[in-house]
Structure 1
Amino acid sequence: MSLTNRAERSLINHEEYEIVRLTHHPEIYDVTSDDLHATRKRLRDLQQKARTLAWEKRRISRGKAEPRGGSFPGTQERPSQRKQVFAAAVKRLSKEIERRARLEARAPQVELAEKALAMRRENFTAPTAPDTANEGMQVIASRRRRTSVHPGKVGRVSQRTKAAQARRDAKG
């Protein structure tokens, strides 16, 4: 679940908030790419520290370990929530770094596409109609087999069947 800026501010101290503030919407676009990478490293270190403190605090509460030192630092009241603040900031930075990398990779492709379109438009010629008419449609010979039956024999089978049926009827 994401936290509001006010909730983030209440969980971390002022120096840490200045780092996290750079990862939010309007400020993140003003930061250079090198600063984004450096800020992400600092946030990962802070996240690791909060993760370690949360882990240690859980062990102490379960009775698995003895408390070290007098107490936790004042800002380490809720280390697991602090860890979530830093994790969300790292995630925002990573998305912005990835977005910028995609934009940088896309720019040369856009230039190449524009150059190819210009070349195509330069060499384009519209098709023209021929000056004279063609001969029109051509006759294609049928590929069907031609049967050559003598005209006197056409219908002899059906006539034979009729004659046989008439003989059977006459016997009856």
Structure 2
Amino acid sequence: MSLTNKAERSLISHEEYEIVRLTHHPDIYDVAGEDLQATRKRLRDLQEKERTLAREKRRISRGKAEPRGGSFPGTQERPSQRKQVFAAAVKRLSREIDRRARIAARAPQAEIAERALAMRRENFNASHAAADTANEGMQVIASRRRRTTVHPGKVGRVSQRTKAAQARRDAKG
């Protein structure tokens, strides 16, 4: 379940919120690529810390372990919810990193496709007949597919016949 910004802010400390804030919609587009990777690493570390605290708290509540330490930081409450905040932030960052990678991969492919299209158009309009010749590179091969054309008078004949037959049936009833 996703949390609102206000709920996230109430669960985590100010320093942690500054990291998480960078993963939200308008701010994530201003972060550089290398910083996204570093932020994702930092968030994963925070998520791992909260996962450990949550496990420890569950073990203590079941009586499997003794409480450790005399005092915990103020952020020790609700570690599983805090872990979810960091997990959602990591997910947002990963999606943005993947989105940027797809955009970066698409640009060279567009250039290659444009070059291929230009070559095809250039060869398609060639006035010479295609022949198998050595050392000439790719040649245009004329299509051997037959072009069938239906006489215009026959195009509507079948549908008109069906309409007339239906009209005759309707007139009988």
User: Under a length normalisation based on structure 2, what TM-score does the superposition of the two structures give?
Assistant: 0.70
Identify the residue that residue 21 of structure 1 maps to in structure 2. Answer: 21
Provide the C-alpha distance between the structure 1 equivalents of 2:126 and 2:65, rounded to a whole number of angstroms: 84
Provide the C-alpha distance between the structure 1 equivalents of 2:115 and 2:89, rounded to a whole number of angstroms: 40
Provide the C-alpha distance between the structure 1 equivalents of 2:125 and 2:41, rounded to a whole number of angstroms: 57
Provide the C-alpha distance between the structure 2 equivalents of 1:116 and 1:104, rounded to a whole number of angstroms: 20
Identify the residue that residue 96 of structure 1 maps to in structure 2. Answer: 96
Identify the residue that residue 119 of structure 1 maps to in structure 2. Answer: 119
Provide the C-alpha distance between the structure 1 equivalents of 2:112 and 2:87, rounded to a whole number of angstroms: 38
* 67-76 vs 51-60, greater mean Cα deviation: 67-76
Please identify the structure whose Cα radius of gyration is greater: 1
**Pairwise CA distance, 1:2:** 0.4
Q: 5 Å matches for 1:1-172?
A: 1-125=1-125
Structure 1 unaligned spans of 5+: 128-172
Q: How many residues align?
A: 127
**Pairwise CA distance, 1:125:** 2.0
Following superposition, which runs of at least 4 residues in structure 1 exceed 6 angstroms of deviation? none
**Percent same amino acid among aligned pairs?**
85
Provide the C-alpha distance between the structure 1 equivalents of 2:46 and 2:52, rounded to a whole number of angstroms: 10
Provide the C-alpha distance between the structure 2 equivalents of 1:59 and 1:73, rounded to a whole number of angstroms: 18
Task: Call closer, same or farther: CA 1:36–1:14 in 2, change over 3 Å.
Answer: same
Per-residue deviation, residues 47-83 of structure 1 (Å, max 9, x unmatched): 0000000111111111111111123210121100000
